[in-house]
Structure 1
Amino acid sequence: MGKTKWILLLIFSFSLGASAAFYEYEYPDEQQVSNYSIYDGMPFTEEMCAAEECLIDKSWTSDEKCAYIKCNKDSCEGGGYLTWSQYVKCQYNIGVRVILIILGIIYLIILFVIMSSIADDFFCPAISGIVTHLRMSESIAGVTFLAFGNGAPDVFSSISSVLTTPKPKADLALGDLFGTSIFVTTVVLAIIIFTKSFRVAIIPTLRDLIFYMITLAFIVFCFLKYDKIEVWMPATFLGIYGVYVLTVIIFGIYRSQRKKRNLKKKEKEIEDGSLSRPESAASDLPIYGELKKKEPTISVSALFHFMVGYSQFMKNLTRANRQRKTNDTKGGFVNEGFNGSLDSDVPPKRNISKIFQQNTFETDLESLETLDEIEDSGDEGREEEFAYAHHTVFTSHDQISLAATEIETINLTTWRSWDWVWDLFNHLKSWPSWEEFKEMMFLVKIVAVIKIVPVFFFKMTVPSNEMSWCKPLFILHCFASIQFALFSIQIINTKPFDGSPGLWLYGLGVSAILALIAMYFLPLSKEQKYYKEVYSYLGFLMSIAWIYATSNEIVSVVTMIGVVTGLSMELLGLTIMAWSNCIGDIVADVAVVKQGFPKMAMAAAIGGPLFNLLIGFGLPFTIAAAQGKEIELLINPVYRLLMLFLAISLVTTFVALFIQRFTVRWPHAVVLIFIFVTFLVFICLAEFHVLEWK
């Protein structure tokens, strides 16, 4: 055990040094700016140093601008560790200031890559593991955990904007939420329709649109009737979300029971020898044998929120294509995302076109139940046979491993052999293989290079249920995860009482205890019984810590851009923050459509922003209002345009579905693009005060 003690001492020393470095860092302190009203003799009153918004007068000198930012850190800075506004405005050399702004923009791009990577590669797999462990049904998982997985960047950006500073940046949060909603319901949905015309999942789509319009109507009511947010307003959003989840659950139970009754009825008819095939809509139902042999498909609602980053998708697409070539001559299931389903949304033996050949709208509505039965006849009972991860739908247990990290397996037997170092290295490896890298597109290669360092730290701090058991990595997690958790929520130096060391030292004590227990009681190579389940929950918590910390830094950089350019927080929220979070949605949804699941993509384009709006507004604003923070509801021109054009996009889609008899086509997409372009024109006019509302 000599080497074992040496290893523990090394890890402990490393953690102690890192924590000491954190301890020496001077974190932003709210109290230290209380006397800045006379900073360097500048004539700032107490009111000017308690500004709700960071409003810098262009006539001020550089010293006055710097002093104003220092005494208004709550409004001029975000909630991150780096005070970008101060770095830029307090730098008097123009060349250096430009370099700092460029570095800030580069840093912002890297932060978006980090956000996408942690959400896609760690947060979503953790949620998937939790859903599997809790044995949740598709409908419940789709509107709770999986929706949270898809909307995590937007939700946590809203939380960071509202809760990380004493003065909430509600305008930035609302701009992000509304901007995401408009962009996804117009541009993203239009791209989906341009990619492929298809018949929508009628009842789920109408349900989401109706709840979306109810939510928007309530927001408009609050803006018109009240001048500040009361605690019951965001709490009502959480209530609407609860009703939405309950509606999904009840409808899912109803459909399940209805299909069981219909199946029993068909079985009875076959047993009685009375099965016939009349010339009607029912004539296209599969025969009994086909009902029993269900197609390996994924349901419309199942895991539709599992949308992930472009680079990971391309990597797994390449792997899957290579795997498919080797499996073409094998039996069993094949990767449905890359075969015949590419060109057809309706699987073979499910011809339903005759149902919609009637000429009356009433007949169309009467056939909805028959349609639902046919569309869903192969969806149930297959949950154990598909995995939807990294943009690729796998329908075989043998191919599920394509969605996980490829790690060379090493059978460890003793600490005396240095094989454990190689095993730890393999688990911390954060770069693709040379073969994968050569096959990537140029932009994807850039993203892969950017992700090398962040992914290394992700693996060092975030337990992943996709990786095999590695005892050295678990011991490393005992130290690194606890320290980073304290660092991410900015309490690592908090002292529980006077004369006490910071929480980082207490964390080290807890880490040492856990590491010793693991060292003496956990096997070196044998995976524990509940390893995947425990790592799913731990990975979920640590992923949240990373997303939260990253969101804080994003808000800080975006705030700096607003201070430098003079653009409003609403405009920055609905452009930079909203559009950056939607890039992954575009790639993901198009990929899902091309894999043969356009209904899933449409569900994500409507249900995803709905979840973000309900939870992204309801959760942080409820907490802020409960804390006594005052948040004004000023219905300025930007907010008017955001709500107006979001309503126009939703109503347009709602009406267009009925006009097109629930089959979306390219004219619908053209109208949505026109709405978004018009929205941008009006937003620019309002931002530069060309358009004034009376």
Structure 2
Amino acid sequence: MAGYLSIHRSKRLLPLFLNTSFLFLICLLITSPTSDLHFLNHLKKLNPTNYHQILESTDIGCKGLHRFQDKQSKCSYVKSHEGCQSGGYISYLHLFYCSFPTILGYTSLFLWLLILFYLLGDTSATYFCSSLEGLSRILKLSPTIAGVTLLSLGNGAPDLFASIVSFMGENTNEVGLNSILGGAFFVTTTVVGIVSICVCPTRVSIDKSSFMRDALFLLLSLLCLLVIIIFGTINLLGAISFLSLYFVYVFLVSISELCRKDRGGNPILPLVIGKTSPNGDLANEKNSELGVPLLKFIVDNKRPIEVKAKEDGKGCLFLGKIMWVLELPLSLPRRLTIPVVSEERWSKPCAVISVTLAPILLALVWSSSGPNFLIYAVGGSVGAVLGSLVFFKANGPGPPRKFLFPWLGGGFLMSITWTYILAEELVSLLVSIGLIVGISPSILGLTVLAWGNSLGDLVANVTMARTGGPDGVQVAISGCYAGPIFNTLVGLGLSLVFASWAVYPSNYVIPRDACVYETVGFLMGGLLWALVVLPKNNMRPNKFVAAGLLAIYLCFLFLKLARTLGLVQFHVSLPIS
């Protein structure tokens, strides 16, 4: 029992640290001598000063910030210049230059970045993937279809919504494009390389047809994306066509698995993490839930530790209650607005509150550009009706057994809402950090955002390869290519569809960024290396494969670092759109 408690506490250290950091940031805002509501973008009232007189007419966004030397001048510029107001709910530039000392400002931004990454992953693993798993059971999807659709959606939700948010914002579309490509590059080189090193002693072989199918289709997707970038514009029909390529991929995966079954072979799930039951359906075991294993140590055992600690005395029981209370600041708002119907996490009071508050939160998000009391009244009325129905109808000890689809649909919708809010704030924060430190937001999207969203893929696929045997290696390698296919085609595809729809019937102009060509080129180089070397090695991942992939990624990072520091300077001629 003592060993269990030690492991259990270690699993809770990260949420505990982040919740404590969140409380620390709240206290900073309250106790700051210049603390006011100006850091909230949607409550900010512009207060123009004479600073605009020394700015050029071409000062778009917040590029004139670094023309000022002292912090007070920068604060006045941020307050007066509309372009410095980020697309999120918080004005980070105002906080950094007007509220906090420099060191404290950097510390606060770093802690808030960690919190946003955690909330994105935790929301996806705890709520989003749970709703997707329930929907897959209700819709009776096969493991293959569930793997390449719902599971890919669950694992790629942070990338998907970060991309959509960045494309719909102003001066942030480069962030989403580079984060998707950066994540795909990181997964197909670094993650595949680490997996190859881990499984090298076992000399296990992966399925050649599945690997060739996934790698070649990802290469095809990148070629189509490169054509779009070269042309520089895309219309609504072209964006829909690019998005439709993913359905072609799902069709090919389904056909290949059907052919494999007809030949008497075992189906290979492209991205399913977990076990399947003997009849081929998704198992009901806990370790088969849709989600990323990295996040399981964060989201498992959410209930207080005293349930398991009673045998160790009152001291552990008291400590468990304290830890549970400290974990509430980040978990409680989502718990009270996202409907949950799982056996382990069912609570009738929480269910009543969540279905009551969910429409109100939707109304607030829908009218975030300004107060709209009609929408608030409709949201409050719908929430009151739904809360009353649940209060009088849900009388059993467990979650409802009937009408599960509306419950799961509500959980799915609210998970999307929270993920969108968090992704919007994360992109806004990265853009602000880029302005503060003088680094292009596209570089931050290519590195920080891509690494943060791909960390789950790294730990998930490495864990699966090391503990899942030959099938685990196959799933890990396939996941390294199926995931980027989803993020590229669906993440960028939906972003382009929404952006094209917003300017319809005109064409949407693709962000002109030379870094995109470099990223796509290196990414294709990594794919070609794997396509050439793995078949020559009888489809056995080894250190030679890993060395080449890691060398390609390190060369890419060295080039980016050298250009950022000004050590290497060269220009790529962009096509005129």
TM-score by length of 2: 0.79
1:675 to 549, 552, 555: 552
For residues 323-369 of structure 1, what are the alpha-carbon distances to aligned partners after superposition, in whole Å with 9 as ceiling and x for unaligned? xxxxxxxxxxxxx89xxxxxxxxxxxxxxxxxxxxxxxxxxxxxxxx
CA distance in 1, matches of 2:415, 2:272: 20
CA distance in 2, matches of 1:560, 1:159: 18
Question: Paired residue for 1:612?
Answer: 487
Q: Does 1:193 align with 2:196?
A: yes
What is the deviation of 1:43? 1.0
Q: Does 1:240 align with 2:245?
A: yes
CA distance in 1, matches of 2:448, 2:282: 38
Q: Does 1:212 align with 2:226?
A: no
> Where do 1:74-473 residues align within 5 Å?
76-90=84-98, 96-163=101-168, 165=169, 167-197=170-200, 198-224=204-230, 226-259=231-264, 300-301=268-269, 304=272, 381=280, 383-384=282-283, 388-389=288-289, 429=303, 452-467=328-343, 469-473=346-350
What is the deviation of 1:87? 2.2
For residues 401-450 of structure 1, what are the alpha-carbon distances to aligned partners after superposition, in whole Å with 9 as ceiling and x for unaligned? x99966xxxxxxxxxxxxxxxxxxxxx946686759x9xxxxxxxx9998
Give yes or no for contact 1:125–1:465 (8 Å, CA) kept in 2. no
**Superposition RMSD on alpha carbons, in Å?**
3.6
Give yes or no for contact 1:110–1:450 (8 Å, CA) kept in 2. no
Question: Paired residue for 1:549?
Answer: 421
What is the deviation of 1:661? 1.6
Give yes or no for contact 2:125–2:292 (8 Å, CA) kept in 1. no
The letter of the residue matching 1:222 is I
CA distance in 2, matches of 1:466, 1:686: 50
Question: Paired residue for 2:14?
Answer: none
CA distance in 1, matches of 2:228, 2:288: 39
- SS of the aligned residue for 1:43 comes to helix
Give yes or no for contact 1:76–1:559 (8 Å, CA) kept in 2. no
Question: Paired residue for 1:28?
Answer: 41
The letter of the residue matching 2:335 is K
Question: Paired residue for 1:42?
Answer: 52
CA distance in 2, matches of 1:491, 1:634: 26
The letter of the residue matching 2:442 is E
What is the deviation of 1:382? 5.5
- SS of the aligned residue for 1:461 comes to coil
What is the deviation of 1:133? 0.5
Q: Does 1:511 align with 2:511?
A: no
CA distance in 2, matches of 1:435, 1:391: 28
Give yes or no for contact 1:124–1:146 (8 Å, CA) kept in 2. yes
- SS of the aligned residue for 1:693 comes to coil
Give yes or no for contact 1:470–1:524 (8 Å, CA) kept in 2. no
Change (3 A) 1:146 1:481: same
CA distance in 1, matches of 2:273, 2:306: 26
Segments of structure 2 that go 5 or more residues without pairing to the other structure are: 1-36, 313-322, 573-577
Change (3 A) 1:432 1:60: farther
Change (3 A) 1:151 1:527: closer
Q: Say how many residue pairs are matched.
A: 511
1:666 to 514, 539, 543: 543
CA distance in 1, matches of 2:80, 2:228: 33
- SS of the aligned residue for 2:288 comes to strand
What is the deviation of 1:101? 2.6
The letter of the residue matching 2:546 is A
What is the deviation of 1:90? 4.1
What is the deviation of 1:106? 0.4
TM-score by length of 1: 0.66
The letter of the residue matching 2:91 is T
Question: Paired residue for 1:693?
Answer: 571
- SS of the aligned residue for 1:122 comes to helix
Moved more, 481-490 or 133-142: 481-490
Question: Paired residue for 1:580?
Answer: 452
- SS of the aligned residue for 1:603 comes to helix
Higher helix share: 2
What is the deviation of 1:608? 0.5
For residues 451-475 of structure 1, what are the alpha-carbon distances to aligned partners after superposition, in whole Å with 9 as ceiling and x for unaligned? 5432233222222232355332221
Question: Paired residue for 2:320?
Answer: none
Give yes or no for contact 1:493–1:503 (8 Å, CA) kept in 2. no
Q: Does 1:590 align with 2:462?
A: yes
Change (3 A) 1:449 1:575: farther
Give yes or no for contact 1:194–1:665 (8 Å, CA) kept in 2. yes
CA distance in 2, matches of 1:693, 1:433: 62
1:474 to 325, 338, 351: 351
The letter of the residue matching 2:41 is P
Give yes or no for contact 2:122–2:298 (8 Å, CA) kept in 1. no
CA distance in 1, matches of 2:482, 2:78: 40
What is the deviation of 1:230? 3.6
What is the deviation of 1:512? 1.8
For residues 563-593 of structure 1, what are the alpha-carbon distances to aligned partners after superposition, in whole Å with 9 as ceiling and x for unaligned? 1011011110011101111222211112111
Question: Paired residue for 2:22?
Answer: none
What is the deviation of 1:599? 0.9
For residues 99-119 of structure 1, what are the alpha-carbon distances to aligned partners after superposition, in whole Å with 9 as ceiling and x for unaligned? 123111101101111111111
CA distance in 1, matches of 2:96, 2:187: 33
CA distance in 1, matches of 2:336, 2:467: 34
What is the deviation of 1:507? 1.9
Change (3 A) 1:545 1:570: same
For residues 278-315 of structure 1, what are the alpha-carbon distances to aligned partners after superposition, in whole Å with 9 as ceiling and x for unaligned? xxxxxxxxxxxxxxxxxxxx953165268xxxxxxxxx
Percent identity (aligned): 24
CA distance in 2, matches of 1:598, 1:448: 37
Give yes or no for contact 2:339–2:411 (8 Å, CA) kept in 1. yes
Give yes or no for contact 2:41–2:86 (8 Å, CA) kept in 1. no
Q: Does 1:563 align with 2:435?
A: yes
CA distance in 1, matches of 2:326, 2:459: 19
Give yes or no for contact 2:162–2:176 (8 Å, CA) kept in 1. yes
What is the deviation of 1:392? 9.6
